[in-house]
Amino acid sequence: MAGTRREGRQAVKRTSPRVPCPRIDIFHRHVPATAAEVSAVRHALEQWASANGCTGDTVTSIALAAQEAMANVVDHAYPAGHDGSMAVFGTVDAATVMVTVSDLGRWNPAEPARPAVDAPEQQRRGRGLMLIDALCEHSGLISDRFGTTLRMRWTTVEADAA
């Protein structure tokens, strides 16, 4: 008998101790990098975060930071006239919500972050990553020739309830 040993005439089955597995829920969307998809994915992400116990400001922060990251993909990842895609992946467990937005395009660094208020539109851009940093507890950006990935992290439900 596999997993047993005989002691006298009685078979004793060896079992490993039960270790509780943390509950992890996953969100995933892989969509075209378009403005219409940004809105649809943001809405689905809000529902997912709420269904997993996030409340109020945390849900809003998750949705707004992810929206800004997706908008950056739409605006900056792919050359004009070229189709591209983006992936949004989220996990939530007992301690953390993680959301990752990634693309297969090329990173285009933003212009200086403090242009004059009356500057042309293109000179007033470049604040998206600062906004994302303000909305989450931690963010990290990785960009190479294979694309750009932005990871964002928040503390989960227990901190919201306090």
Instruction: Give yes or no for residue 135 having a pLDDT over 90.
Output: yes
Average pLDDT over residues 123-149: 87
Instruction: Give yes or no for residue 146 having a pLDDT over 50.
Output: yes
Instruction: Give yes or no for residue 137 having a pLDDT over 70.
Output: yes
3-state secondary structure the chain: CCCEEEECCEEEECCCCCCCCCCCEEEEEEEECCHHHHHHHHHHHHHHHHHCCCCHHHHHHHHHHHHHHHHHHHHHHCCCCCCCEEEEEEEECCCEEEEEEEECCCCCCCCCCCCCCCCCHHHHCCCHHHHHHHHCCEEEEEEECCEEEEEEEEECHHHHHC
Average pLDDT over residues 7-21: 57
Instruction: Give yes or no for residue 85 having a pLDDT over 70.
Output: yes
- pLDDT tens across 24-72, in order? 689 999 999 999 999 999 999 999 999 998 888 999 999 999 999 999 9
Categorize the per-residue pLDDT at 100 as very low, low, confident or very high, splitting at 50, 70 and 90.
very high
Instruction: Give yes or no for residue 147 having a pLDDT over 90.
Output: yes
Q: What is the pLDDT of residue 117?
A: 56
